Chains A and B, each alone.
Chain A
Amino acid sequence: MDISFALTGKGYVIVAADTVAARSIVKMKVDEDKIKVLSPHLLMAYSGEPGDTVQFAEYVERNIRLYQIRNTHALRPPSAASWIRRTLADSLRSRKPYAVNLLVGGYDTSTHNPHLYWIDYLGTMSEVPFAAHGYGAYFALSLLDRYHDPEASVEEGLATLKRCIDEVAKRLVVNPEKYKVKIVDKDGVREVEI
């Protein structure tokens, strides 16, 4: 039942994920952060098989950090996303594949462009202007087709995100209630309340 959205705008990427940690029909926790900050300008929202998700996200986090220490500069978003994709694709054909879906958002400090990647557990990757995972995708994608603007300001971007969240609240049988929202832009990562 994990839901995550992400959208790009003028010089930023917004990533949002619900905060529920559920097991079967029970809500175990309602303030779980499912968005990892991989580097000063890179975010990753993860969802999927409980256990695999955190395990994989931490594995990615440490490897991105290791690269930064070894090379004194961080991987840029396209390279980081390619490495993460390859890790998942190799895992798919292993004995026990990770069942994790990701939205990787980052700001390239060299070219000053925002990047967003939709990645699923098979290792399918696509750079997109906006993306969603989980049941939210069925409601949000058509909405984003209509309202997404790549030149929108942060305020307009957050308003569009709000539309997605409201639509899910209105039409989906179960409502996650709370979302964690993080923005990455030229100044780095910050969390916002909506």
Chain B
Amino acid sequence: MSIMEYNGGSVIAMVGKDCVAIASDLRLGNQALGISSNFQKIFPMTNRIFLGLPGLATDVTTLKETFRYRVNMFTIKEEREIEPETFAHLVSSTLYERRFGPWFIEPVMAGLQKTHDGGYKPYIAATDLIGCLNFAKDFVVAGTASTKLFGVAEGLWEPDLEPEDLFETISQTLLNAVDRDAYSGWGAEVYVLTKDKVIKRTLKGRMD
């Protein structure tokens, strides 16, 4: 029994054309026993950054609160909102602080980074449980269904997807991957970030 698989749950993030998407399942379990079908793992950090926290559920809640505190402190001290790239390093150093007694979480983040010409650039990243950053141009995955997510995403993802197409791609990837994983599933939620709005959708999934 691995502590990373104790509660179950998975998160995925994908890049599109001037947009990003992040999605997670909604299961909370105690090994094979399902406890809740409405356990959120994705949290807004700013209007343009969303953070997914799959792993041990107690640390999901604790880290959500830690990051809310640290992002608020950044905003007050710097008098500006944190950018996704800076936030990724905040996540990394927060996890590495606990190098020898880690939080059992593998964060996935998606955001839109401001560019010099005033536009926005898609940004996704993931880290392992001690904060080793992994930037990707296409997609990042984490959680108990990560192996399956890699496979399906590799097959479905293509470059420069429009927001609606990206929504369809990430939804189908997640739904089909978690159906092959006993510890993930029980519904899902998807966030698509574009430069002028955030679309949140809740998906129904297999309840077995």
Which of B35, B65, B101 is within 8 Å of A118, CB to CB?
Answer: B35
Q: In the complex, how many angstroms separate the beta carbon of A116 from the nearest chain B beta carbon? A: 11
A64: interface (CB < 8 Å): no
Binary CB contact string for chain B from 45 to 71 against chain A (1 if under 8 A, 0 otherwise): 000000000001110011001000000
> B33–A126 contact, CB under 8 A?
no
The answer to whether B56 and A125 have CB atoms under 8 Å apart is no
Compute how far the CA of A189 lies from the CA of B165 in the bound complex, rounded to whole angstroms: 52
Residues in chain B near residue A125, CB distance under 8 A = 58, 61
Please give, as numbers and ranges, the residues of chain A lying within 8 Å of B33 by CB-CB distance: 137-138, 141
Task: Given the known inter-chain contacts A93-B101, A122-B56, please indicate yes or no for A128 contacting B36, CB distance below 8 A.
Answer: yes
User: Is A60 an interface residue, CB under 8 A from the partner?
Assistant: no
**Residue contact A120 to B62, C-beta cutoff 8 Å:** no
Most buried by B among A118, A126, A131: A126
A-B pairs under 8 A by CB, number: 43
**Residue in A89, A93, A118 whose beta carbon sits within 8 Å of that of B61 in the complex:** A89
Instruction: Give the distance in Å from the alpha carbon of A131 to the alpha carbon of B57 in the complex.
Output: 17
Knowing A93-B101, A122-B56, A126-B28, say if A85 contacts B61 (CB, 8 Å): yes
| Given A93-B101, A120-B30, A137-B33, A126 and B58 contact (CB-CB distance below 8 Å) | no
Instruction: Choose among A86, A92, A123, A126 the residue that contacts B35 (Cβ–Cβ < 8 A).
Output: A126
Q: Quick check: A123 and B36 within 8 Å, CB to CB?
A: no
Contact A123 B39 (CB under 8 A): no
What is the interface size of chain A, counting residues whose CB is below 8 A from a CB of the partner?
19
> What is the size, in residues, of chain B's interface with A at 8 Å between Cβ atoms?
16
User: Are A124 and B101 in contact, CB atoms less than 8 angstroms apart?
Assistant: no
- In the bound complex, what is the Cα–Cα distance between A141 and B56 (angstroms)? 22
Are A124 and B62 in contact, CB atoms less than 8 angstroms apart? no
Cβ of B62 and Cβ of A123 under 8 Å apart?
Answer: yes
- Contact code string A116-159 (vs B, CB < 8 Å = 1, else 0): 00101011111110010000011001000000000000000000
Give the distance in Å from the alpha carbon of A110 to the alpha carbon of B32 in the complex.
37
Q: Is B24 an interface residue (CB 8 A)?
A: no
CA distance A93 to B33 in the complex (A): 24
Chain B positions 175 through 190: 1 when the CB is less than 8 Å from some CB of chain A, otherwise 0 = 0000000000000000
Q: Does B7 contact A (CB under 8 A)?
A: yes
Q: Which has the most chain A C-beta neighbours within 10 Å: B57, B58, B61?
A: B58
Question: Given contacts A93-B101, A120-B30, is CB(A126)–CB(B62) below 8 Å?
Answer: no
Known A-B contacts A89-B62, A93-B101; the reply to A128 vs B35 at CB < 8 A is yes
Determine the residue in chain B with the shortest Cβ distance to A138.
Answer: B33
Chain A stretch 87-108: residues in CB contact (< 8 A) with chain B:
88-89, 92-93
Contacts A125-B58, A126-B35, A131-B35 given; 10 further ones with Cβ under 8 A?
A85-B58, A86-B65, A88-B58, A89-B58, A93-B101, A120-B30, A123-B61, A124-B28, A127-B38, A137-B33
20 CB contacts below 8 A, A to B, read A85-B58, A85-B61, A86-B65, A122-B56, A123-B58, A123-B61, A123-B62, A124-B7, A124-B28, A124-B56, A124-B58, A124-B61, A125-B61, A126-B28, A126-B36, A126-B38, A127-B36, A127-B38, A131-B35, A137-B33
Ranked 4 nearest A-B pairs via Cβ: A123-B58, A126-B36, A124-B57, A122-B58
